[in-house]
Every structure is written in C-alpha cells, then in structure tokens.
Structure 1
Amino acid sequence: MGRAIALGLPLLVVAEIAVFVLVGSWIGYPWAVLAVLAASFAGLMLLRREGMRAWRGFIAAANSGQHPGERVIDGIVGLGAGVLLTVPGFVTALTGLVLLFPPTRSVARRGVQRWTERRVSSAVAGDLFGPRKVRVRRGAPDVDGAIEGEIVEPR
C-alpha cells in the first residue's frame, strides 16, 4: 500500500500540473486559478457538512440500537469527497465531485466496506455492519470439526 502511494503521488502531481496548464490555456490562467480556489472552498464546506452528518448518523444509529457501520462508511466517503475537493487541482476536484453522485457514492461505499471488513476481525465487522451471511460448502468436514465457508454480502 505504501509503495502504491509513493508511486501514485508523483504521478498525481504531474497529472494535476498538466491538466492545470491545459485548462489555463483553454479558459485563461486567472480563471483557472479562480476555479481551483472555488473547488477548494466548496471542499471545505463539504468537509464541514459531511463531518457533522457522519457524526449525527453515528449517534442516531447508536441511540437506536442499529449497527452504525453503513452510516459511518457513508460519512467516510463524503469526507473523502470533501478532502479531494479541498486539494488544489482539477483531477482531484473532479474525482471528489464524482463521489458526490449517489451511484458512484454507493459503489465507493461498498468498496470501503469490503476493505474495512477484510482488515478488522469478524466480531468487529459484525458489530459495525450487522450479522454476516455465510455460504457453506458441502463436503467432508475437517478433522477438528470446523466448517469451511465464505462470507457473502447480502443483496
């Protein structure tokens, strides 16, 4: 993961500069700077809104006895969109804007949830996202009596 970030960050900087030069030559550099500043300001406002929304969703889920994972993940995706908008540049701003639309936000939410489930214990995942459905394969059981299976996302 660290190696991917170390390789991706310089590529992102080069892409941001190239896109800024292209947009600046197309609409003029003062307008391009103004557009980047406007996107960063919108990102700051979005960070504030999404942060409060995520916190309120977590508190509401905890108070009602529901599993807070989905609301927390939705808040994390919204905060990620805000961070991407806040970072100066057109590539990150466009990525942040795309994350605001419900279809892409839903895809990102599922991806973040899967990523989280792989990195925490099954007990923590159950506490966050509710009980997991398990698909059991039939066959000869192991000698210790364990049942081999895989976790399947509910549809």
Structure 2
Amino acid sequence: MRRRGIALLPLVLPLLAFAEIVAFISVAHAIGFGWAILLGGTASIAGMVLLRREGIKGWRRFQAAAVEGRPPGPQVSNSLVGLLGALLLTVPGFVTAVAGLLLVLPPGRQLARRQVERYTERRMGGAVAGDLFGARHVRVDTGDPVVIDEEPGRPSQRTPTAAIEGEVIEGEILR
C-alpha cells in the first residue's frame, strides 16, 4: 500500500500545483492581486506559528501522559493531526491552506484523529491500539442471538434462539 502512494506522487504533485494556480488566480480575481498575496503570506506565517505551538504542546502532552501512566496515543494522534494542519498552512497556496485550516480547527481535527486511530488499529492490531489509545469502545449487535447447527454431512443452519434473560453488566474489557 505504501508503494502505491509513492507511485501516485508524481501524478498528484502536478495536479496540486495546477489546483493552487487556479485557486490563486480565482482569489486574486475576486479580491485583488495584492490582497491575495497578503492573504497567502498571512496563512503561511500563521502556519509557522502554529507549527511551533503544536509541536511544543504535543510534546508536553506526551510527557504528561507518560508521567501519569496513561496511554499516550490520543495526545500523539491529536498532535500529529495538528502538526499536519500547521504544515499545510505553511505551504504557500490556498488549497493547502484550506486543508490545513480544516485540520487545525476542532471538528476537522477530531475527525482526522479518529481516522488516524482507526488506521493504526487496522495496521497494528487491536492489542497494540489498546496500549496506545487506551480502552477501545466496541459496538455490540443487539439483534436476536443465533445458534449455528452443524452436523456432519449437512450444511450449517442459523436458527434464532430466545433472548438470554438476566442482569446486564456494562463495563470495559481490559487485559
């Protein structure tokens, strides 16, 4: 999968450059050339400031989690998303600035952080993700329980059973 992403890089970069040129021309036409340059420069400077701030804040959160014995994953993934957003803001251009702004603002950051955690869980497995990000939340199917009947020489059949009666205990699964 990693090789496929690298293989697409020579195609993606010229498309991004073309999109940036079109976006700059559109913004310059709408607000004026000088204002477009000023807006692009402001976004780059803001990205540099945020890059420093997010890096320092992320490192401090990581250290605090390590000292308290908490899993450092949520702080690390949140900081990585913030750093990526700040880096995209630093790159000159309006398309990357909008993408970076979406990653820096809280709703976009939370969505991207969840995606980073899911990707990590798929690549490394649930046990490692649990160590990194803490206890995982699981969804339980509340449909009718099903029993699978398997007899030699006969295909398996799924038959619903009656619901299990009794007290339900909610909690987290830990090692």
Give yes or no for TM over 0.5. Answer: yes
CA contact (8 A) 2:117 2:129 kept: no
Find the counterpart in structure 1 of residue 30 from structure 2.
Answer: 26
Answer yes or no: is 1:52 the counterpart of 2:56. Answer: yes
Out of 72, 79, 87, the residue aligned to residue 83 of structure 2 is: 79
Structure whose alpha-carbon radius of gyration is higher: 2
**Higher share of residues assigned helix:** 1
Q: How many angstroms does 1:138 deviate by?
A: 7.5
Q: How many angstroms does 1:23 deviate by?
A: 0.9
Structure 2: unaligned runs, 5 residues or longer:
141-145, 150-171
Q: How many angstroms does 1:103 deviate by?
A: 1.6
Between the aligned partners of 2:26 and 2:127, the Cα distance in structure 1 is: 50
Between the aligned partners of 1:42 and 1:60, the Cα distance in structure 2 is: 27
CA RMSD of aligned residues (A): 2.3
* 2:16 partner letter: L
Deviates more, 1:123-132 or 1:35-44: 123-132
TM-score of the superposition, structure 2-length normalised? Answer: 0.72
Q: How many angstroms does 1:121 deviate by?
A: 4.8
Mark the CA change 1:62 to 1:138 in structure 2 (over 3 Å): closer, same or farther: farther
Out of 2, 5, 12, the residue aligned to residue 6 of structure 2 is: 2
Q: How many residues align?
A: 141
Displaced runs of 4 or more, over 3 A: 121-124, 131-135, 137-140
Find the counterpart in structure 2 of residue 69 from structure 1.
Answer: 73
Q: Choose between structure 1 and 2 for higher RCO, CA contacts under 8 A separated by at least 6 residues.
A: 1
Between the aligned partners of 2:148 and 2:64, the Cα distance in structure 1 is: 44
